[in-house]
Structure 1
Amino acid sequence: MNDSAQIETTDGEESTSLYQRILNDIRGKIVSGAWAPGYRIPFEHELTVQYDCSRMTVNKALSQLAAAGLIERRRRSGSFVRSPRSQAAVLEITDIRIEVEALGLPYRYALEQRRERRSQPNDAERLSPVCPKKLVELNCLHYAGTRPFCVEHRLISLETVPDASVETFQEIAPGPWLIGRVPWSTAEHRISAEGADSLMAAGLDIDEGAPCLVIERRTWTADLPVTYARFIYAGVSHSLVARFEPS
Protein backbone atom coordinates (compact mmCIF):
# COMPACT_ATOMS: atom_id res chain seq x y z
CA MET A 1 0.00 0.00 0.00
CA ASN A 2 1.38 3.35 -1.00
CA ASP A 3 0.40 6.36 1.14
CA SER A 4 -0.66 8.21 -1.98
CA ALA A 5 -2.74 5.36 -3.44
CA GLN A 6 -6.43 6.02 -3.92
CA ILE A 7 -8.56 4.16 -1.38
CA GLU A 8 -11.62 2.49 -2.86
CA THR A 9 -14.58 2.37 -0.48
CA THR A 10 -18.17 1.17 -0.61
CA ASP A 11 -19.66 4.63 -0.71
CA GLY A 12 -16.88 6.24 -2.75
CA GLU A 13 -16.71 9.27 -0.45
CA GLU A 14 -13.45 8.74 1.48
CA SER A 15 -10.52 10.37 -0.27
CA THR A 16 -6.79 9.85 -0.24
CA SER A 17 -6.40 13.00 1.87
CA LEU A 18 -8.62 11.60 4.64
CA TYR A 19 -6.72 8.30 4.65
CA GLN A 20 -3.46 10.27 4.80
CA ARG A 21 -4.78 12.40 7.65
CA ILE A 22 -5.62 9.33 9.75
CA LEU A 23 -2.23 7.81 8.95
CA ASN A 24 -0.32 10.99 9.78
CA ASP A 25 -2.29 11.69 12.97
CA ILE A 26 -1.63 8.26 14.45
CA ARG A 27 1.96 8.08 13.24
CA GLY A 28 2.63 11.55 14.67
CA LYS A 29 1.35 10.57 18.12
CA ILE A 30 3.53 7.45 18.13
CA VAL A 31 6.71 9.13 16.90
CA SER A 32 6.30 12.09 19.27
CA GLY A 33 5.90 9.76 22.25
CA ALA A 34 2.37 10.98 23.03
CA TRP A 35 1.28 7.36 22.60
CA ALA A 36 3.88 5.25 24.38
CA PRO A 37 4.68 1.59 23.61
CA GLY A 38 1.79 -0.58 24.73
CA TYR A 39 -0.80 2.19 24.33
CA ARG A 40 -4.07 0.89 22.91
CA ILE A 41 -5.10 2.82 19.83
CA PRO A 42 -8.84 3.65 19.62
CA PHE A 43 -10.89 0.84 18.11
CA GLU A 44 -11.80 0.97 14.43
CA HIS A 45 -15.40 1.93 15.14
CA GLU A 46 -14.20 4.78 17.39
CA LEU A 47 -11.89 6.10 14.67
CA THR A 48 -14.71 5.77 12.14
CA VAL A 49 -16.84 8.10 14.26
CA GLN A 50 -13.95 10.46 15.01
CA TYR A 51 -13.02 10.94 11.35
CA ASP A 52 -16.54 10.50 9.94
CA CYS A 53 -15.37 7.97 7.39
CA SER A 54 -15.86 4.35 6.41
CA ARG A 55 -14.40 1.50 8.42
CA MET A 56 -12.47 0.40 5.33
CA THR A 57 -10.54 3.68 5.29
CA VAL A 58 -9.61 3.27 8.95
CA ASN A 59 -8.63 -0.36 8.40
CA LYS A 60 -6.37 0.57 5.49
CA ALA A 61 -4.56 3.19 7.61
CA LEU A 62 -4.06 0.78 10.51
CA SER A 63 -2.85 -1.93 8.15
CA GLN A 64 -0.24 0.47 6.75
CA LEU A 65 0.98 1.32 10.25
CA ALA A 66 1.17 -2.38 11.15
CA ALA A 67 3.12 -3.16 7.97
CA ALA A 68 5.56 -0.38 8.91
CA GLY A 69 6.10 -1.96 12.32
CA LEU A 70 4.66 0.94 14.32
CA ILE A 71 1.63 -0.87 15.72
CA GLU A 72 0.63 -4.43 16.54
CA ARG A 73 -2.89 -5.62 15.73
CA ARG A 74 -4.29 -8.25 18.08
CA ARG A 75 -7.37 -10.22 17.24
CA ARG A 76 -10.32 -9.16 19.44
CA SER A 77 -8.07 -6.91 21.55
CA GLY A 78 -7.41 -3.99 19.19
CA SER A 79 -4.26 -2.26 17.98
CA PHE A 80 -1.34 -1.31 20.22
CA VAL A 81 1.80 0.80 19.82
CA ARG A 82 4.75 -1.54 19.38
CA SER A 83 7.80 -1.36 21.62
CA PRO A 84 10.91 0.01 19.90
CA ARG A 85 12.74 -2.79 18.13
CA SER A 86 16.27 -3.24 19.38
CA GLN A 87 18.07 -5.32 16.78
CA ALA A 88 18.59 -5.76 13.08
CA ALA A 89 18.98 -8.99 11.15
CA VAL A 90 22.77 -8.81 10.88
CA LEU A 91 24.00 -6.37 13.48
CA GLU A 92 22.36 -5.47 16.76
CA ILE A 93 21.44 -1.88 17.55
CA THR A 94 22.85 -1.61 21.05
CA ASP A 95 23.82 1.06 23.52
CA ILE A 96 27.59 1.63 23.31
CA ARG A 97 27.56 1.72 27.11
CA ILE A 98 26.65 -1.99 27.03
CA GLU A 99 29.57 -2.73 24.68
CA VAL A 100 32.01 -1.02 27.05
CA GLU A 101 30.62 -2.54 30.25
CA ALA A 102 30.80 -5.99 28.63
CA LEU A 103 34.58 -5.43 28.56
CA GLY A 104 34.56 -4.81 32.31
CA LEU A 105 35.50 -1.17 31.90
CA PRO A 106 33.80 2.01 33.16
CA TYR A 107 31.88 3.91 30.50
CA ARG A 108 31.85 7.66 29.93
CA TYR A 109 30.08 9.74 27.30
CA ALA A 110 30.97 13.26 26.16
CA LEU A 111 29.20 15.59 23.75
CA GLU A 112 31.74 17.42 21.62
CA GLN A 113 29.37 19.51 19.49
CA ARG A 114 25.65 20.01 18.97
CA ARG A 115 24.05 22.30 16.43
CA GLU A 116 20.78 22.71 14.57
CA ARG A 117 21.05 23.53 10.90
CA ARG A 118 19.31 23.35 7.57
CA SER A 119 20.07 20.30 5.48
CA GLN A 120 22.70 20.46 2.74
CA PRO A 121 22.85 18.55 -0.56
CA ASN A 122 25.28 15.90 0.75
CA ASP A 123 22.96 15.11 3.69
CA ALA A 124 20.59 13.38 1.27
CA GLU A 125 23.30 10.79 0.54
CA ARG A 126 23.58 9.99 4.22
CA LEU A 127 20.08 10.39 5.62
CA SER A 128 17.52 9.93 2.87
CA PRO A 129 16.98 10.90 -0.78
CA VAL A 130 13.99 12.94 0.43
CA CYS A 131 16.00 14.85 3.00
CA PRO A 132 14.30 16.73 5.86
CA LYS A 133 14.79 20.48 5.85
CA LYS A 134 16.12 20.81 9.43
CA LEU A 135 18.56 18.59 11.30
CA VAL A 136 20.34 18.24 14.60
CA GLU A 137 24.02 17.43 14.04
CA LEU A 138 26.00 15.85 16.87
CA ASN A 139 29.62 14.87 17.43
CA CYS A 140 30.18 12.60 20.44
CA LEU A 141 32.91 10.58 22.14
CA HIS A 142 32.43 7.33 24.04
CA TYR A 143 35.15 6.21 26.48
CA ALA A 144 36.13 2.81 27.87
CA GLY A 145 38.00 3.60 31.04
CA THR A 146 40.39 6.42 30.25
CA ARG A 147 40.70 5.58 26.54
CA PRO A 148 38.48 6.79 23.69
CA PHE A 149 36.38 3.84 22.52
CA CYS A 150 34.22 5.24 19.72
CA VAL A 151 33.74 8.48 17.82
CA GLU A 152 30.12 9.13 16.84
CA HIS A 153 28.80 11.56 14.25
CA ARG A 154 25.01 11.74 13.96
CA LEU A 155 22.24 13.53 12.10
CA ILE A 156 18.66 13.53 13.42
CA SER A 157 15.67 14.64 11.37
CA LEU A 158 13.76 17.35 13.20
CA GLU A 159 10.74 16.70 11.00
CA THR A 160 10.49 13.10 12.22
CA VAL A 161 11.83 13.70 15.75
CA PRO A 162 10.86 17.27 16.74
CA ASP A 163 11.66 16.59 20.42
CA ALA A 164 15.36 16.48 19.50
CA SER A 165 15.25 20.27 19.22
CA VAL A 166 14.87 20.63 23.00
CA GLU A 167 17.20 17.80 24.04
CA THR A 168 20.75 18.99 24.79
CA PHE A 169 22.33 15.48 24.67
CA GLN A 170 24.72 16.57 27.39
CA GLU A 171 23.66 13.84 29.80
CA ILE A 172 22.50 11.09 27.45
CA ALA A 173 23.92 9.81 24.20
CA PRO A 174 21.65 10.15 21.16
CA GLY A 175 21.49 6.40 20.49
CA PRO A 176 19.70 5.30 23.69
CA TRP A 177 17.64 8.50 23.66
CA LEU A 178 16.26 7.65 20.22
CA ILE A 179 15.75 3.95 20.96
CA GLY A 180 13.65 4.85 24.00
CA ARG A 181 11.42 7.31 22.14
CA VAL A 182 11.13 6.59 18.44
CA PRO A 183 9.94 3.20 17.16
CA TRP A 184 11.84 2.37 14.00
CA SER A 185 10.64 0.09 11.24
CA THR A 186 13.72 -0.26 9.01
CA ALA A 187 17.46 -0.07 9.62
CA GLU A 188 20.45 -0.24 7.32
CA HIS A 189 24.06 -0.91 8.29
CA ARG A 190 27.12 -0.31 6.16
CA ILE A 191 30.46 -1.58 7.47
CA SER A 192 33.83 -0.54 6.09
CA ALA A 193 37.51 -0.22 6.96
CA GLU A 194 39.29 3.11 6.71
CA GLY A 195 42.64 4.58 7.59
CA ALA A 196 42.34 7.22 10.29
CA ASP A 197 42.43 10.80 9.02
CA SER A 198 43.58 13.60 11.30
CA LEU A 199 40.16 14.07 12.96
CA MET A 200 39.61 10.34 13.51
CA ALA A 201 43.13 9.97 14.87
CA ALA A 202 42.69 12.86 17.28
CA GLY A 203 39.33 11.58 18.51
CA LEU A 204 40.51 8.02 19.11
CA ASP A 205 44.05 8.99 20.20
CA ILE A 206 45.67 6.83 17.53
CA ASP A 207 48.16 7.44 14.75
CA GLU A 208 47.03 8.84 11.41
CA GLY A 209 46.59 6.04 8.92
CA ALA A 210 45.86 3.45 11.64
CA PRO A 211 43.08 1.02 10.62
CA CYS A 212 39.58 1.91 11.79
CA LEU A 213 36.30 0.04 11.70
CA VAL A 214 33.47 2.29 10.49
CA ILE A 215 29.79 1.44 10.95
CA GLU A 216 27.21 3.66 9.25
CA ARG A 217 23.58 3.26 10.27
CA ARG A 218 20.36 4.70 8.87
CA THR A 219 16.94 4.14 10.41
CA TRP A 220 13.43 4.96 9.28
CA THR A 221 10.00 4.94 10.88
CA ALA A 222 7.60 3.91 8.15
CA ASP A 223 8.81 6.00 5.18
CA LEU A 224 10.28 8.84 7.26
CA PRO A 225 14.04 9.09 7.94
CA VAL A 226 14.91 9.16 11.66
CA THR A 227 18.68 9.32 11.92
CA TYR A 228 22.04 8.70 10.29
CA ALA A 229 24.94 7.69 12.52
CA ARG A 230 28.60 7.04 11.79
CA PHE A 231 30.56 5.13 14.45
CA ILE A 232 34.35 4.93 14.22
CA TYR A 233 36.34 2.41 16.26
CA ALA A 234 40.07 1.74 16.39
CA GLY A 235 40.44 -1.42 14.31
CA VAL A 236 43.11 -2.90 16.54
CA SER A 237 40.74 -3.05 19.51
CA HIS A 238 37.33 -3.72 17.99
CA SER A 239 35.64 -6.47 16.00
CA LEU A 240 32.14 -7.52 15.00
CA VAL A 241 30.64 -10.91 15.82
CA ALA A 242 27.31 -12.19 14.53
CA ARG A 243 25.83 -15.62 15.26
CA PHE A 244 23.26 -17.12 12.90
CA GLU A 245 20.93 -20.08 12.90
CA PRO A 246 19.34 -21.64 9.82
CA SER A 247 15.85 -20.33 9.14
Structure 2
Amino acid sequence: MSGRWQPEQRIPVEHELMLQYRCSRMTVNKVLTQLAREGIIERRRKVGSFVKRPHSTSAVLSIADIKAEVEALKQPYRFEILARQKRRATRADRTLMGTEESMSVLELICRHFAGNLPFCDEHRLINLHAVPTVASVDFADISPGAWLLRQVPWAVAEHRIRASGAAADVAARLKVKAGSPCLVVERTTRSMSAVPITFVRLSYPGTLHELVASFKAI
Protein backbone atom coordinates (compact mmCIF):
# COMPACT_ATOMS: atom_id res chain seq x y z
CA MET A 1 0.00 0.00 0.00
CA SER A 2 2.93 2.36 0.57
CA GLY A 3 4.03 2.01 -3.05
CA ARG A 4 7.47 0.71 -2.08
CA TRP A 5 6.81 -2.37 -4.19
CA GLN A 6 5.72 -1.20 -7.64
CA PRO A 7 3.13 -2.94 -9.86
CA GLU A 8 4.57 -6.02 -11.61
CA GLN A 9 7.38 -6.24 -9.02
CA ARG A 10 8.02 -9.77 -7.74
CA ILE A 11 7.62 -9.98 -3.97
CA PRO A 12 9.81 -12.15 -1.70
CA VAL A 13 9.16 -15.88 -1.77
CA GLU A 14 7.36 -17.62 1.10
CA HIS A 15 10.42 -18.76 3.05
CA GLU A 16 11.85 -15.22 2.94
CA LEU A 17 8.60 -13.82 4.32
CA MET A 18 8.61 -16.52 7.02
CA LEU A 19 12.01 -15.34 8.21
CA GLN A 20 11.14 -11.66 7.96
CA TYR A 21 7.89 -11.90 9.93
CA ARG A 22 8.86 -14.90 12.12
CA CYS A 23 5.75 -16.89 11.30
CA SER A 24 4.85 -20.25 9.82
CA ARG A 25 4.66 -21.03 6.12
CA MET A 26 0.95 -21.77 6.56
CA THR A 27 0.38 -18.23 7.85
CA VAL A 28 2.33 -16.70 4.97
CA ASN A 29 0.39 -18.80 2.47
CA LYS A 30 -2.95 -17.72 3.96
CA VAL A 31 -1.96 -14.06 3.79
CA LEU A 32 -0.79 -14.31 0.18
CA THR A 33 -3.99 -16.12 -0.76
CA GLN A 34 -6.08 -13.35 0.82
CA LEU A 35 -4.05 -10.63 -0.91
CA ALA A 36 -4.60 -12.40 -4.22
CA ARG A 37 -8.37 -12.61 -3.58
CA GLU A 38 -8.44 -8.86 -2.91
CA GLY A 39 -6.60 -8.13 -6.14
CA ILE A 40 -3.50 -6.71 -4.47
CA ILE A 41 -1.10 -9.37 -5.73
CA GLU A 42 -1.13 -11.92 -8.52
CA ARG A 43 0.17 -15.45 -7.90
CA ARG A 44 1.76 -17.06 -10.93
CA ARG A 45 2.31 -20.81 -10.81
CA LYS A 46 6.01 -21.78 -10.67
CA VAL A 47 7.02 -18.13 -11.04
CA GLY A 48 6.05 -16.35 -7.82
CA SER A 49 3.81 -13.59 -6.53
CA PHE A 50 3.74 -10.13 -8.08
CA VAL A 51 2.24 -6.78 -7.11
CA LYS A 52 -0.88 -6.33 -9.21
CA ARG A 53 -1.51 -3.09 -11.03
CA PRO A 54 -4.41 -1.30 -9.27
CA HIS A 55 -7.92 -1.57 -10.69
CA SER A 56 -9.88 1.64 -10.26
CA THR A 57 -13.57 2.55 -10.36
CA SER A 58 -15.33 5.85 -10.89
CA ALA A 59 -18.94 6.97 -10.87
CA VAL A 60 -20.67 7.27 -14.23
CA LEU A 61 -22.82 10.24 -13.24
CA SER A 62 -20.16 12.36 -11.54
CA ILE A 63 -17.11 14.29 -12.65
CA ALA A 64 -14.24 12.63 -10.83
CA ASP A 65 -10.89 14.18 -9.99
CA ILE A 66 -8.29 11.80 -11.42
CA LYS A 67 -5.93 12.60 -8.55
CA ALA A 68 -8.59 11.41 -6.09
CA GLU A 69 -9.08 8.21 -8.12
CA VAL A 70 -5.37 7.41 -7.92
CA GLU A 71 -5.04 8.30 -4.24
CA ALA A 72 -8.02 6.04 -3.48
CA LEU A 73 -5.83 3.22 -4.79
CA LYS A 74 -3.11 4.16 -2.27
CA GLN A 75 -0.79 5.07 -5.13
CA PRO A 76 1.33 8.22 -5.50
CA TYR A 77 -0.14 10.57 -8.11
CA ARG A 78 1.47 12.90 -10.59
CA PHE A 79 0.63 14.32 -14.00
CA GLU A 80 2.43 15.94 -16.88
CA ILE A 81 1.39 18.24 -19.69
CA LEU A 82 2.68 16.74 -22.93
CA ALA A 83 1.28 19.27 -25.39
CA ARG A 84 -0.39 22.67 -25.18
CA GLN A 85 -1.70 24.80 -28.04
CA LYS A 86 -3.93 27.85 -28.31
CA ARG A 87 -5.71 27.95 -31.69
CA ARG A 88 -8.95 28.50 -33.57
CA ALA A 89 -11.41 25.66 -33.21
CA THR A 90 -11.72 23.39 -36.22
CA ARG A 91 -14.99 21.95 -37.46
CA ALA A 92 -14.06 18.67 -35.73
CA ASP A 93 -13.47 20.56 -32.46
CA ARG A 94 -16.86 22.27 -32.70
CA THR A 95 -18.52 18.91 -33.34
CA LEU A 96 -16.90 17.45 -30.22
CA MET A 97 -18.06 20.44 -28.19
CA GLY A 98 -21.55 20.34 -29.69
CA THR A 99 -21.65 23.83 -31.16
CA GLU A 100 -21.50 25.63 -34.50
CA GLU A 101 -20.19 28.84 -32.95
CA SER A 102 -16.72 30.04 -33.90
CA MET A 103 -14.31 30.02 -30.97
CA SER A 104 -10.71 29.78 -29.87
CA VAL A 105 -9.66 26.78 -27.83
CA LEU A 106 -6.81 25.72 -25.62
CA GLU A 107 -5.87 22.16 -26.56
CA LEU A 108 -4.07 20.09 -23.93
CA ILE A 109 -2.69 16.56 -23.86
CA CYS A 110 -2.01 15.37 -20.35
CA ARG A 111 -0.84 12.08 -18.87
CA HIS A 112 -1.74 10.97 -15.35
CA PHE A 113 0.30 8.43 -13.37
CA ALA A 114 -0.40 5.98 -10.56
CA GLY A 115 3.02 5.31 -9.13
CA ASN A 116 5.43 4.96 -12.04
CA LEU A 117 2.84 3.69 -14.52
CA PRO A 118 0.53 5.68 -16.80
CA PHE A 119 -3.01 5.66 -15.40
CA CYS A 120 -4.96 7.80 -17.86
CA ASP A 121 -4.43 9.71 -21.09
CA GLU A 122 -6.28 13.03 -21.30
CA HIS A 123 -7.07 15.04 -24.45
CA ARG A 124 -8.87 18.28 -23.60
CA LEU A 125 -10.30 21.29 -25.42
CA ILE A 126 -11.21 24.39 -23.38
CA ASN A 127 -13.37 27.15 -24.87
CA LEU A 128 -11.31 30.32 -24.42
CA HIS A 129 -14.38 32.47 -25.02
CA ALA A 130 -16.04 30.87 -21.99
CA VAL A 131 -12.88 30.58 -19.83
CA PRO A 132 -10.43 33.29 -20.98
CA THR A 133 -8.38 33.16 -17.77
CA VAL A 134 -7.24 29.58 -18.46
CA ALA A 135 -4.82 30.86 -21.11
CA SER A 136 -2.50 32.19 -18.39
CA VAL A 137 -2.62 29.12 -16.11
CA ASP A 138 0.63 27.12 -16.22
CA PHE A 139 -0.78 23.92 -14.64
CA ALA A 140 2.46 23.37 -12.76
CA ASP A 141 0.73 22.25 -9.56
CA ILE A 142 -2.80 21.37 -10.60
CA SER A 143 -4.14 19.41 -13.56
CA PRO A 144 -6.47 21.08 -16.08
CA GLY A 145 -9.47 19.02 -15.02
CA ALA A 146 -8.98 19.77 -11.32
CA TRP A 147 -8.49 23.47 -12.07
CA LEU A 148 -11.73 23.63 -14.05
CA LEU A 149 -13.67 21.84 -11.31
CA ARG A 150 -12.48 24.42 -8.77
CA GLN A 151 -12.66 27.57 -10.87
CA VAL A 152 -15.44 27.26 -13.44
CA PRO A 153 -19.09 26.55 -12.56
CA TRP A 154 -20.86 24.18 -14.93
CA ALA A 155 -24.55 23.35 -15.25
CA VAL A 156 -24.81 20.45 -17.70
CA ALA A 157 -22.46 17.55 -18.41
CA GLU A 158 -22.79 14.83 -21.03
CA HIS A 159 -20.84 11.57 -20.78
CA ARG A 160 -20.14 9.20 -23.64
CA ILE A 161 -18.55 5.89 -22.68
CA ARG A 162 -17.15 3.36 -25.12
CA ALA A 163 -14.59 0.66 -25.60
CA SER A 164 -11.88 1.32 -28.16
CA GLY A 165 -8.56 -0.03 -29.33
CA ALA A 166 -5.78 2.38 -28.40
CA ALA A 167 -4.61 4.55 -31.30
CA ALA A 168 -0.85 4.58 -31.80
CA ASP A 169 -0.32 7.94 -30.07
CA VAL A 170 -2.52 7.07 -27.09
CA ALA A 171 -0.91 3.62 -26.81
CA ALA A 172 2.55 5.18 -26.72
CA ARG A 173 1.53 7.54 -23.92
CA LEU A 174 -0.11 4.72 -21.92
CA LYS A 175 2.83 2.37 -22.63
CA VAL A 176 0.60 -0.35 -24.07
CA LYS A 177 0.50 -1.96 -27.50
CA ALA A 178 -1.38 -0.16 -30.26
CA GLY A 179 -4.89 -1.56 -30.47
CA SER A 180 -4.95 -2.60 -26.79
CA PRO A 181 -8.46 -2.32 -25.30
CA CYS A 182 -9.14 1.00 -23.61
CA LEU A 183 -12.12 2.37 -21.72
CA VAL A 184 -12.78 5.81 -23.21
CA VAL A 185 -14.85 8.44 -21.41
CA GLU A 186 -15.76 11.54 -23.40
CA ARG A 187 -17.39 14.44 -21.58
CA THR A 188 -18.65 17.88 -22.54
CA THR A 189 -19.61 20.41 -19.88
CA ARG A 190 -21.73 23.53 -20.44
CA SER A 191 -22.61 26.69 -18.56
CA MET A 192 -26.11 27.74 -17.46
CA SER A 193 -26.51 29.48 -20.82
CA ALA A 194 -25.55 26.25 -22.65
CA VAL A 195 -22.17 27.60 -23.75
CA PRO A 196 -19.63 24.74 -24.02
CA ILE A 197 -16.86 25.00 -21.44
CA THR A 198 -14.70 21.99 -22.16
CA PHE A 199 -14.53 18.69 -24.00
CA VAL A 200 -12.31 15.95 -22.63
CA ARG A 201 -11.46 12.45 -23.77
CA LEU A 202 -10.05 10.21 -21.03
CA SER A 203 -8.52 6.91 -22.11
CA TYR A 204 -7.83 4.24 -19.48
CA PRO A 205 -6.19 0.83 -20.05
CA GLY A 206 -9.31 -1.32 -20.38
CA THR A 207 -8.48 -4.02 -17.86
CA LEU A 208 -7.68 -1.58 -15.06
CA HIS A 209 -10.71 0.68 -14.77
CA GLU A 210 -14.46 0.38 -14.50
CA LEU A 211 -17.40 2.75 -14.22
CA VAL A 212 -20.04 2.31 -11.57
CA ALA A 213 -23.51 3.83 -11.22
CA SER A 214 -26.18 3.38 -8.54
CA PHE A 215 -29.88 3.92 -9.23
CA LYS A 216 -33.01 4.19 -7.10
CA ALA A 217 -36.51 3.30 -8.19
CA ILE A 218 -38.88 6.25 -8.24
TM over 0.5: yes
Aligned-residue CA RMSD in angstroms? Answer: 1.3
Which whole-Å CA distance do the structure 2 matches of 1:115 and 1:125 have between them? 19
The one of 119, 124, 136 equivalent to 2:89 is 119
1:99 equivalent to 2:69? Answer yes
Structure 2 matches for 1:130-149, cutoff 5 A?
130-149=100-119
Cα distance change on mapping 1:103 and 1:183 into 2, 3 Å: same
What are the superposed Cα offsets for residues 153-181 of structure 1, whole Å, 9 maximum, x if unpaired? 00000100010111122321111101111
TM-superposed CA distance for 1:243, in Å, is 1.6
Residue-by-residue CA offset, 1:14-33 (whole Å, 9 max, x unaligned): xxxxxxxxxxxxxxxxxxxx
Which residue matches 1:46? none
1:181-220 maps to which residues of 2 (within 5 A)?
A: 181-220=151-190
Is the partner of 1:239 in helix, strand or coil? Answer: strand
* Structure 2: 5+ residue stretches without partners: 1-58
Q: Which aligned segments of 4 or more residues in structure 1 are displaced greater than 6 angstroms? A: none
Q: For the Cα contact (< 8 Å) 1:149–1:204, is it kept in 2?
A: yes
- 1:56 corresponding residue in structure 2: none
Distance 2:103 2:202 in 1: 24
Alignment of 1:1-247 (within 5 A): 90-222=60-192, 223-247=194-218
CA distance in 1, matches of 2:110, 2:101: 23
Give CA-to-partner distance per residue, 1:73-111, whole Å, 9 cap, x none. xxxxxxxxxxxxxxxx94210110010011111101111
The verdict on how the C-alpha distance between 1:225 and 1:176 changes in structure 2, with shifts beyond 3 A counting, is same
TM-score (norm 1): 0.62
Q: Mind listing any 5+ residue stretches in structure 1 that lack a counterpart?
A: 1-88
Q: Percent identity?
A: 46
Letter in 1 for 2:202: F
1:120 and 1:241 map into 2 onto residues whose CA distance is: 33
Partner deviation per Cα, 1:133-169 (whole Å, 9 max, x = no partner): 2110000000000000000000000100010111122
Question: Compared with structure 1, are the counterparts of its residues 90 and 209 closer, same or farther at alpha carbon in structure 2 (3 Å cutoff)?
Answer: closer
Once the two structures are overlaid, the 10-residue window that deviates more, 160-169 or 130-139, is 130-139
Say how many residue pairs are matched.
159
Greater alpha carbon shift after TM alignment, 98-107 vs 169-178 = 169-178
What is the aligned partner in structure 1 of residue 22 from structure 2?
none
Cα deviation code 1:33-71 (max 9, x no counterpart): xxxxxxxxxxxxxxxxxxxxxxxxxxxxxxxxxxxxxxx
Contact 1:118–1:134 (CA under 8 A) maintained in structure 2: yes
8 A contact 1:219–1:227 mirrored in 2: yes
Higher strand share: 2
